[in-house]
Amino acid sequence: MIKFLDLHRINARFEVEFQTKFQQFLDSGHYILGNEVASFEKTYAKYCGTKYCIGVSNGLDALILIFRAYLELGVLKKNDEVIVPANTFIASILAIKEVGLKPILVEPSIETYNISTKEIEKNITTRTKAILVVHLYGLLAEMNSIKKIAKQNNLLIIEDAAQAHGAIDDKGGRAGNLSHAAAFSFYPSKNLGALGDAGAITTNDAHLNEVIRKIRNYGASSKYKYEVMGTNSRLDEVQAAFLSIKLKQLDSDNEKRRNIAKYYLSKIINRKVKLPYYSLSKDHVFYAFVVLVENREKFMSYMSENDIETLIHYPVPPHKQLVFSCLNIKRLPITETIHNNIVSLPLSPVMTSLEIERIVEVVNDFS
């Protein structure tokens, strides 16, 4: 069986370093917000090209804390509208609703699966205050155009970069440094994955950085001095240590992912399988290699019969989820087409040539 994602193989490469670092952690006697978190924050900020990085518990909290901080600073207020792609993972929309803002779901491009700039412009009202951009499946959104729209309309841009660690635009800017603030998830399956839940926020805004640091730690500016309504959302010291180890390999792993994607794109020639958009640049890190097929169930069964695991990112669009029935959105045809027909093929930096070739062979034989 070719697994969709073999996390054991991915992390086995770092096992000796993990064990050494874990022993150092045990010996330190400092288990919360210690040197490992501080070190990772400094290193990841430098990697992204930002002034600040704040380690938090997970990617959802990263988004929530960004919005909460902007509310605390008075930049946003309750019921302000936030434009968000309709085909994102549900966490993007949960974060907006959690803090009392109003999500405005807009259609993506059927070619890139990322938010459509035309749809952004069509949905801007006097109540619109921010755009939550999602770099879906590892491909950067059209940030140059989005920045122009935001500047013309005085809007915040927030990146949901949970799937785009290390993606680089045509000017050399990385995901996490293409907006006012960005949220990252280090869920184990991500390109930079922890061995548990973990997340981070990057920004160049000193005031935002200061407020988020307080909110993540009960609202405290220092021990037992609470200045804002806070929560407990601190990056775990052990996960920070593991992430620092894996970060050294991220660019190399992303390049391996791109090379596998290029092979798929050049060798898969089945007309029943629509391949993803790719410009052959570094703006895509292929968190997922997503194809579109008309008979998804048949295709997935066929792949399984040939001992190849596939997944769906994601089977049901957010506006069709019971939790968001309150949004009263009846139809989003492009979003629904995507969610009804997409399938993700295995792609990871530890796949063998034989596995990759076998996947291409099986996909091409599908009818």
| Average pLDDT for 342-362 | 98
* Domain at 7-106+114-247: CATH code: 3.40.640.10
What element of type H or E holds 199? Answer: strand 199-203
* Non-local CB neighbours of 339 within 8 Å, separated by 6+ positions: 87, 314, 315, 316, 317, 320
User: Which CATH number does the domain 250-364 belong to among 3.40.50.2300, 3.90.1150.10, 3.40.50.720, 3.40.190.10?
Assistant: 3.90.1150.10
Q: What is the pLDDT of residues 222-248, one digit of tens each?
A: 888 999 999 999 999 999 999 999 999
Q: Identify the pLDDT of residue 21.
A: 97
Rounded CA separation 55/236 (Å): 8
Outline which parts of the chain fall under CATH 3.90.1150.10: 250-364
Share of the chain above pLDDT 70, in %: 100
CA distance readout (Å), 177 to 15, 180, 245, 336: 31, 8, 22, 31
Q: Identify the pLDDT of residue 367.
A: 92
pLDDT of residue 161 exceeding 90: yes
Q: Identify the pLDDT of residue 330.
A: 85
Region for 160 from its dihedrals, namely left if φ exceeds 0, alpha if ψ lies in -120 to 50, beta otherwise: beta
| DSSP, res 170 | T
Q: Identify the pLDDT of residue 34.
A: 95
Nearest alpha-carbon partner for 266 in 119, 364, 137, 367: 364
pLDDT of residue 221 exceeding 90: no
* Non-local CB neighbours of 94 within 8 Å, separated by 6+ positions: 60
Threshold 0.95, pTM exceeds: yes
pLDDT of residue 117 exceeding 90: yes
Q: What is the pLDDT of residues 293-347, one digit of tens each?
A: 989 999 999 999 999 999 999 999 999 999 999 999 989 999 999 999 999 999 9
Q: What is the pLDDT of residues 171-213, one digit of tens each?
A: 999 999 999 999 999 999 999 999 999 999 999 999 999 999 9
Laid out side by side, the sheet with 52-56 consists of: 52-56, 199-203, 181-185, 156-160, 128-134, 81-85, 102-106
Q: Identify the pLDDT of residue 267.
A: 98
Mean pLDDT of the chain: 97
Mapped onto helix, strand or coil, the DSSP state of residue 200 is strand
- For strand 128-134 and strand 81-85, is the pairing parallel, antiparallel, or unpaired? parallel
Laid out side by side, the sheet with 273-274 consists of: 273-274, 289-293, 342-345
Q: What is the pLDDT of residues 275-295, one digit of tens each?
A: 999 999 999 999 999 999 989
Angle 210-182-100 from CA coordinates, rounded to 5°: 80
CB-count exposure of residue 348 (10 Å: 0-12, 13-18, 19+): buried
Outline which parts of the chain fall under CATH 3.40.640.10: 7-106+114-247
Rounded CA separation 251/261 (Å): 15
